A and B are shown apart, each in its own frame.
Chain A
């Protein structure tokens, strides 16, 4: 049960956003600026970083949600997403993305864990300043989103079939306050 009195029909961060729409607005804008652009990093790569960091932070709701969104962008390749979450080093992804995921993993522990050597490796593999910047900020932002969701013990749906439905909604319309103010998607057989 959540630590504060929120709408019990809304899952995860959606209930918290509905409780506090004033803070939800910039958080949704941040998510859109970071995750809904293909500038330098694709939307799929951005969601993979988000899902990996959420996995490291052991935030079930966020890792399932962002994993499912990445699956939408990767033509349903759920195996790849699961592999990147748990063991990206052995995943079939470009070396540059692996170097960026290593930086994201350091950020998850604490900003000071990022080393000049990690940055150097990413650069040698072709990463630009903007890619490094966005990787660090996506990882940092999920250290916020994950703590917000778990710190208030937000409702976490255990029905895994519900995550792809919400993911589709995000893949089509992006982030923003519509995710709590519009009707929640429900499985057809529910």
Chain B
């Protein structure tokens, strides 16, 4: 049960933003810009960074939903997502994305964990300033969303099918405040 009285049976962050739409709006706007706005990283890659950080934070709700969104966006290459979540180093992602995910993993621990070497390695694989910026901010933002969802013990569905539908909706419609949706 959630620590505060939020709408029942509404999963994860959706129940929290319905409780407090004043903060819900900028939280959803930030997710929309970060994960759907302009970036040299594809939407599938950005969702994968979100799922990777959420997995490290052991936040089931965010991990399952963003992994599902990433799989949907990767289409035929959807196996990449589970490969990365299982074992980043031996996964089939590009060396550049591997280097960026390494940075995201450092940010998940704490900002200062990111070293000059981590950045140099990403640059060597072709990452530019914008890609490094977006990676760090996605990882930082999910260090927030994960804590918000778990810190208030919001409802986490256990049925994988439910996440598949959620991921499809997130991939196709983006991040829209729940009370704006029919």
Cβ of A4 within 8 Å of any chain B Cβ, yes or no, is yes
Majority DSSP secondary structure for residues of B touching A: helix
Q: Which residues of B contact A170 (CB under 8 A)?
A: none
Within 8 A of A (CB), among B20-48: 20, 22-23, 25-27, 29-30, 33-34, 37-38
Find the A residue at minimum CB distance from B120: A3
- In the complex, what distance in Å separates the CA atom of A106 from the CA atom of B147? 10
Given known A29-B26, A30-B26, A147-B111, contact A111–B148 (CB-CB < 8 A): yes
Check if A23 sits within 8 Å of B129, measured CB to CB: no
Within 8 A of B (CB), among A93-140: 103, 106-107, 110-112, 114, 116, 119, 129-130, 132-134, 136-137, 139-140
- The total of chain B residues at the interface (CB under 8 A) is 48
The CB with the most chain B CB atoms within 10 A, among A16, A111, A148, is that of A111
The stretch among A68-76, A81-89, A150-158, A159-167 that forms the contact with chain B is A150-158
Check if B33 sits within 8 Å of A23, measured CB to CB: yes
- The total of chain A residues at the interface (CB under 8 A) is 48
Majority DSSP secondary structure for residues of A touching B: helix
Cβ of A79 within 8 Å of any chain B Cβ, yes or no, is no
Find the B residue at minimum CB distance from A27: B30
Query: 0/1 per residue, B137-152, Cβ < 8 Å to A?
Result: 1011101111111111
Cβ of B91 within 8 Å of any chain A Cβ, yes or no, is no
Cβ of B69 within 8 Å of any chain A Cβ, yes or no, is no
Cβ of A179 within 8 Å of any chain B Cβ, yes or no, is no
Q: Which residues of B contact A134 (CB under 8 A)?
A: 20, 23
- In the complex, what distance in Å separates the CA atom of A151 from the CA atom of B3? 31
- In the complex, what distance in Å separates the CA atom of A20 from the CA atom of B116? 21
Cβ of B132 within 8 Å of any chain A Cβ, yes or no, is yes
Cβ of B78 within 8 Å of any chain A Cβ, yes or no, is no
20 A-B pairs (CB sep. < 8 Å): A20-B137, A26-B29, A30-B26, A33-B23, A34-B23, A103-B151, A110-B57, A110-B150, A111-B148, A111-B149, A114-B150, A114-B151, A116-B3, A129-B19, A137-B23, A146-B111, A146-B140, A150-B114, A152-B132, A153-B114
- A-B interface, 5 closest residue pairs, ranked by CB to CB distance from nearest: A111-B150, A150-B111, A144-B144, A147-B140, A140-B147
Chain B positions near chain A (C-beta within 8 angstroms): 3-5, 16, 19-20, 22-23, 25-27, 29-30, 33-34, 37-38, 57-59, 103, 106-107, 110-112, 114, 116, 119, 129, 132-133, 136-137, 139-141, 143-153
